[in-house]
Amino acid sequence: MENVSSQRAKDIFSDALETPFDERSAFVQSACGQDKDLAVQVHNLLVAHEEAGEFLASPTQDNNGAIRLVANVERQPPTEGPGTVVGRYKLLQPIGEGGFGVVYMADQQEPIRRKVALKIIKLGMDTKQVIARFESERQALALMDHPNIASVLDAGATETGRPYFVMELVKGIPITEYCDRNNLATRERLELFTHVCQAVQHAHQKGIIHRDLKPRNILVTLHDGRPVPKVIDFGVAKATQQPLTEKTMFTEFGQFVGTPVYMSPEQAELSGLDVDTRSDIYSLGVLLYELLTGKTPFDAARLRSAGFSEMQRIIREEEPPRPSTRIVEDTKALRHESTKEGDSRTDSLRAPGPSPLVTDIAKRRHTDPSTLVRALRGDLDWIVMRALEKDRTRRYETANEFAKDVERHLTNQPVVAGPPSAAYKLRKFAKRNRASVAAGSVAVAGILFGLALSTYGYCQASADRDRAQQAEQLAKQRECQAESTARLMVDMLGAVDPDRMHGVNYTVRQMLDHFAAALDKGLAKGCSPKVEATVRAAVGRSYLGLGLFPPAESQLRRALELTRNEYGERGVEVAACLHTLGEILLRKYEPLKAESLLRNALSIRKERLGESHPDVAKTLSVLATCVFCEGLPDDAEPLYREALRIRRRVPGDGYLDVAESLRELGDLLHEGGAFGEAEKLWSEARAIEVRSGGHDPGLTARHLRDQGHALKWQGEYAAAEERYQESLELYRKRFGDSHPEVAQAWSALGSVHFRRADFEAAEAAFRDAIAMRRRIYGDQHLLVLAEMKNLIEVLVAKGDKQEAASVLHETLDMVPSLLVGHHPTARTLTELLDVLQDAEAALLAEPLYRQALALDRQRLSEQHPLLPQSLTNLGVILERQQKYDAAEPLLREALHLRRSILGDGHHDTQVTKASLVDVYCKMGRHSDAEPLALELYAWVSGHSDGTLRKRYAPHAIEIIIKVYESWERPEKAAEWRTRLTDVNNGKDGP
């Protein structure tokens, strides 16, 4: 039963009632977006609303104010019964009853006198529509003339307004019952079944699809002592169910008309995919399964109790056991059962016999379980499973083909069905690996699954298209190509044996390399270029997922070339390649190159898919990050916002795509100093993530990192460190030890260690980050440079000048190639030179700092935290060149800004204070320096973080002493010197 209180369900429900009836289904579908459960819920309620009639009708609106607890439908007792005349028919006795209504034997008076079956559909269906739909098919139905089909003669409405159907009277029993009652052997069952297939084939040729094939609709009668199956109810299902939309499906399900056991995946899907003859093939497959094993592929009781979406999932996704396996399983299960019950004769030599149930099933087929298993294994397994394929394109094309394969088996010819295809195995593999996703080996399985499915899906789609467009032979050839690709994938996937896996990424990488090499060598020649492009793009994406950029890039470049040739410059497929390639370049931190590709992708996607397509949002989002990385936050923001706006509509609020956009926008705002707003966005994102799979370690890691950032900005370093540490662990668990996200996490952790003055830990973290980034990006990379700079800063702070100099030397070798002159590079470089701490370097750096500051003033808002940073940097450089008069106003401005943006107690504010104290002393403005120096010490000694206190307290005291000494106030200096000794001796505190 649904939750009551979803406001969203209420709103959609109410709005749906205000839309015209015909448009409701579509309205609900679009309003619910991807939320299928919600759609189901609303739909059920709409159906309930339609059916409710006068249920609970308000007493005040009702004549005499009577309470109606019962809906109209059930309040009215059936008025038709034996003796009633319905149209030209007089009802005799009822001969059957079901969820749909009642079947009577009836007397037809004219034009000829005969007995017929008259089926009265229960109220609650729109009689007019039912009859109209029947009328539309009446002509086709009249054309059906087959000994195994009971013809439908007439349809109409009773006086009470119920639709009825008149059919040839069949005095028979359901086919499964007939077979069991008469203990038909498997062979006889198969022969009977082929007649059913021929009947269905006949109907299909006349354009009639049954839609509701099940034993109850296939009755067996005896003609001259020979069993003759008759399929009844052709045209009825269509008239009473069509249009096959959610409404009718739910009505059916809600009322338990029939069971979903015989329903094909596409019928259960409700995707609006129209049902065709292949759905009947599926149902025939279920029937054959049941005739052979005595069971349906899915247990009816289980489906019924599963709940709607679970039922859909089972029918759509679960692979039923093959018929022979089913018998084996049942035998085992029941044996297990009997051992559990404590068979007292287990010590006797007699092996526990198969369960009575399975023996019964076998007995009804004139055989024993093990012989039955042998009979089913092979041909019959394959034939049944072919008919039960989830993908209808893989089923028998026609009922005739199905029957012929059964006949081939009966005459010992090789069957067409054959063992499961490579694609089938591939799909199975993907399924198996999905289970291991849950078990935890996320990286491997996730990548494999995506890769396998995209390839498989494409092969299928391409085979489909081709079949429609080209000659059959060519189609076969294409299919073979798809098959060969799929087979190769199976080979590749087969190589990944979890037991042989050493390192998670190692094996997957090897596997990808193996596959990429195979593509280059010859596999590609066997493929159409379209297939090759898709496969290469999938492989490239997998490389990207592993953080392996160079091979990712080369696969995507090749895929791009192929798609351009195949689809033209403006193809949607081209845009997809451009997008992924842009993403790779961005992750490689080449934002300028990435930007042009992404803009191109964006324009194609907007043109071909419309302005508000989810793919457009995806490209916008990556493009925004790209622009952001170029140091243009103001340009990035509207792009992020546009992506968010689209995603809030499609797929809609509450989806992970929206959470992603919220996080990205939050990052940007946070960086821009809008901390409060950023944290609001992050927490909205988190709420979404938790609701829809908060267990995803990647999302949680990201969330922890964002929290760490926020805490770091607030100066809560210990708490920030904790978050970073947790985030790092999660990332490592997920991605292994060489991945951009992991490097990023190390770097974040290092920065907070540094701020806590835990230099050893900081050094280790930065060294890890550097090593990892070098592996990922190569030596000549801005991100490596940034990390080196961090390391040097730590070394300097630690006092390890020699090591600092050596790392610096190494770094400077990288610099020229990175001097591309755009803003973030300038900043990094100047900060690097800053480390040199000598006048010469300062002179060198000054113009760069000035440029950076000018750019910041022009680009950043006044409340942007980077602005005082640039001011401080330039101030320090000037101070080092002894240009105190120039430095002082800059530092003062920086201090003012940092106080107002970050607060007086923020770490960075103290950095500026220290520099300003220096400058004031040099300028002889001691009375200005003194309060700042004391403030500095007060901040340090009052800090809650013990490590930081211990490291910085002596340093702060030394600054004070320096002030008094330069001021020539020795008594004050001496006083502080004593305190310094105390502090150094462990007597902490002011």
Per CB under 8 A, residues contacting another protein are 1-5, 10, 13-14, 17, 40, 44-49, 51-52, 55-56, 58-61, 64-71, 74-75, 77, 253-256, 306-309, 311
Residue number with CB closer to another protein (238 or 247): 247
Residue number with CB closer to another protein (55 or 967): 55
What DSSP string describes 627-660?
HHHTT-HHHHHHHHHHHHHHHIIIIITTSHHHHH
For residue 85, the minimal CB distance to another protein (Å) is 22
Residue number with CB closer to another protein (61 or 978): 61
Residue number with CB closer to another protein (308 or 964): 308
Residue number with CB closer to another protein (306 or 453): 306
Residues 464, 479: Cα–Cα separation, whole Å: 9
Annotated catalytic residue 520 = no
Residue number with CB closer to another protein (39 or 602): 39
Q: Are 675 and 706 in contact (CB under 8 A)?
A: no
For residue 66, the minimal CB distance to another protein (Å) is 4
For residue 81, the minimal CB distance to another protein (Å) is 12
Helix (H, G, I), strand (E, B) or coil at 108: strand
Q: What tokens appear for 403 in the block?
A: 């029957």
- Indicate the angle between helix axes 656-671 and 697-713, nearest 10 degrees: 20
**Nearest alpha carbon to residue 383 among 363, 426, 413:** 413
For residue 697, the minimal CB distance to another protein (Å) is 32
Q: What tokens appear for 836 in the block?
A: 């040199």
Catalytic residue, candidates 15, 62, 107, 212: 212
Query: CA triplet 241, 243, 249: central angle to 5 degrees?
Result: 55
For residue 465, the minimal CB distance to another protein (Å) is 37
For residue 313, the minimal CB distance to another protein (Å) is 12
Query: Which residues are CB-contacts of 50 (< 8 A; sequence separation ≥ 6)?
Result: none
Instruction: Report the amino acid identity of residue 523.
Output: L
Cα–Cα distance list, 18 to 28, 53, 638 (Å): 12, 17, 36
Q: Are 869 and 853 in contact (CB under 8 A)?
A: no
Cα–Cα distance list, 301 to 168, 249, 256, 295, 734 (Å): 32, 18, 12, 12, 39
Instruction: Report the amino acid identity of residue 802.
Output: Q
For residue 364, the minimal CB distance to another protein (Å) is 33
Radius of gyration, CA atoms only, the chain: 38
For residue 252, the minimal CB distance to another protein (Å) is 11
Q: What tokens appear for 891 in the block?
A: 């530092």
Residue 775 region by backbone torsions, left for phi larger than 0, else alpha for psi between -120 and 50, else beta: alpha
Residue number with CB closer to another protein (9 or 769): 9
Question: How many CA atoms are closer than 13 Å to the CA of 214, on its beta-carbon side?
Answer: 15
Helix (H, G, I), strand (E, B) or coil at 923: helix
Instruction: Report the amino acid identity of residue 742.
Output: V
What DSSP string describes 861-890?
-TT-THHHHHHHHHHHHHHHTT-HHHHHHH
For residue 759, the minimal CB distance to another protein (Å) is 57
With the C-alpha atoms ordered 276, 279, 284, 287, is the resulting torsion angle positive or negative?
Answer: negative
What's the distance, Cα to Cα, between the start and end of the chain in Å? 66
Instruction: Report the amino acid identity of residue 909.
Output: T
Query: Which residues are CB-contacts of 212 (< 8 A; sequence separation ≥ 6)?
Result: 233, 236, 237, 241, 258, 262, 283
Q: What tokens appear for 371 in the block?
A: 């012989």
Query: Which residues are CB-contacts of 731 (< 8 A; sequence separation ≥ 6)?
Result: 698, 701, 739, 741, 742, 745
For residue 21, the minimal CB distance to another protein (Å) is 15
Pairing of strands 226-231, 218-223: antiparallel
Residue number with CB closer to another protein (68 or 564): 68
Q: What is the largest CA-CA distance in the chain?
A: 131
**Nearest alpha carbon to residue 68 among 53, 56, 78:** 56
Residues 640, 666: Cα–Cα separation, whole Å: 10
Residue number with CB closer to another protein (64 or 93): 64
Residue number with CB closer to another protein (48 or 719): 48
For residue 62, the minimal CB distance to another protein (Å) is 9
For residue 768, the minimal CB distance to another protein (Å) is 51
Residues 661, 647: Cα–Cα separation, whole Å: 8
Residue number with CB closer to another protein (48 or 690): 48
Query: CA triplet 634, 638, 641: central angle to 5 degrees?
Result: 130
Residue number with CB closer to another protein (307 or 889): 307
| Residues known to be catalytic | 212
